[in-house]
Chain A
Amino acid sequence: AQTVTQSQPEMSVQEAETVTLSCTYDTSESDYYLFWYKQPPSRQMILVIRQEAYKQQNATENRFSVNFQKAAKSFSLKISDSQLGDAAMYFCAYRSANSGNTPLVFGKGTRLSVIA
C-alpha cells in the first residue's frame, strides 16, 4: 500500500518570504500523480498544484512550485512571496494512475502560519 509522510507538523514564514513544505511517499508503482491540497479554516480542501510522475519538469502555479524527485520519492511544495491568505493546513496526496479511479492517499498535513 502507498503511504505519504509529511514530517513537518507546523511551519511558519514571514510575509513575502519563501517557505518549503516537505513530503515523501512510498510506492512500488511507476505511474502516479501527486497533489498538494490547501485546507483553510473553512475546512474546504482546495487543489494547489499537481504533478504527473512521468513528467520530469516540476509543476508550477503562480507563486507555488514543486520539487519532484522521483528517485528519492520526494515532492516538496515551495511557496514564494508568502501572503497572509496562504495560512492553512497543507496536505500532500498520492494517487495511482494504474487502477482506474482510486481515492487519494493523504499525509497528515503541515500547518502553515504566515507572520505579518
Chain B
Amino acid sequence: GAGVSQSPSNKVTEKGKDVELRCDPISGHTALYWYRQSLGQGLEFLIYFQGNSAPDKSGLPSDRFSAERTGGSVSTLTIQRTQQEDSAVYLCASSWGLLAGETQYFGPGTRLLVL
C-alpha cells in the first residue's frame, strides 16, 4: 500500500515569508509525528498527534511554528515569518498509535531553504 507522502519535496522561500508543509500519513494510522533534521544533526521532535487527543506541541521551537491535523488524516505544518535557521529537512512519520515498540513509518521529507 501507499506509504507516507509529503509535499512539496523541496521548498525555497525568502526570509519573512510563511510556508506550509503537508503530510499524508498511511491510511488508518492514528499517530502522526513531525520531526526536523538540520544539517549534521539528528532528528528533532516538533509535534505529535494521536487520534482526537490534544496534540503534544512540546517540541515546537517557537510560536512561529504550528500544525494541524484535519479529520485525523492529513497534517499541515506551518512556519510563519520564516528565518534562515528554519532551513532544514522536515520529516513526517505515522504509526498505528497502539504500542510503544511499533514502527514509525517516515515520509521522504520536505527540504526547506530560507534565503
Task: Name B101's closest neighbour in chain A (CB-CB).
Answer: A33
Q: How large is the interface on B (under 10, 10 to 19, 20 to 34, 35 or more residues)?
A: 20 to 34
Give chain A nearest CB distance to B67 CB in angstroms. 13
Task: Name B41's closest neighbour in chain A (CB-CB).
Answer: A108
Task: Name B100's closest neighbour in chain A (CB-CB).
Answer: A97
Q: Are B100 and A95 in contact (CB under 8 A)?
A: yes
Q: Are B106 and A44 in contact (CB under 8 A)?
A: yes
**Which chain B residues numbered 1 to 47 have a C-beta less than 8 Å away from chain A?**
3, 31, 33, 35, 40-45
A75 within 8 A of B: no
Q: Mark A1-28, 1 if CB is under 8 A from B, else 0.
A: 0001010000000000000000000000
Question: Which residues of the partner chain A approach B59 to less than 8 Å between Cβ atoms?
Answer: 103
Rounded to whole angstroms, the CA-CA distance of A46 and B44 in the bound complex is 17
A84 within 8 A of B: no
Partner of B100, one of A102, A105, A107: A102
Question: Which residues of the partner chain A approach B101 to less than 8 Å between Cβ atoms?
Answer: 33, 50, 52, 95, 97
Rounded to whole angstroms, the CA-CA distance of A93 and B3 in the bound complex is 21
Task: Name A53's closest neighbour in chain B (CB-CB).
Answer: B101
Rounded to whole angstroms, the CA-CA distance of A97 and B3 in the bound complex is 25
Rounded to whole angstroms, the CA-CA distance of A101 and B56 in the bound complex is 10
Q: Are B42 and A108 in contact (CB under 8 A)?
A: yes
Question: Which residues of the partner chain B approach A91 to less than 8 Å between Cβ atoms?
Answer: 42-43
Give chain B nearest CB distance to A43 CB in angstroms. 5
Task: Name B51's closest neighbour in chain A (CB-CB).
Answer: A101
A-B contact pairs, 22 of them (CB 8 A): A32-B100, A33-B100, A37-B106, A42-B108, A43-B91, A43-B108, A45-B93, A50-B101, A91-B43, A95-B101, A96-B100, A97-B100, A97-B101, A98-B100, A100-B100, A101-B48, A103-B33, A103-B35, A104-B33, A104-B43, A104-B45, A106-B43
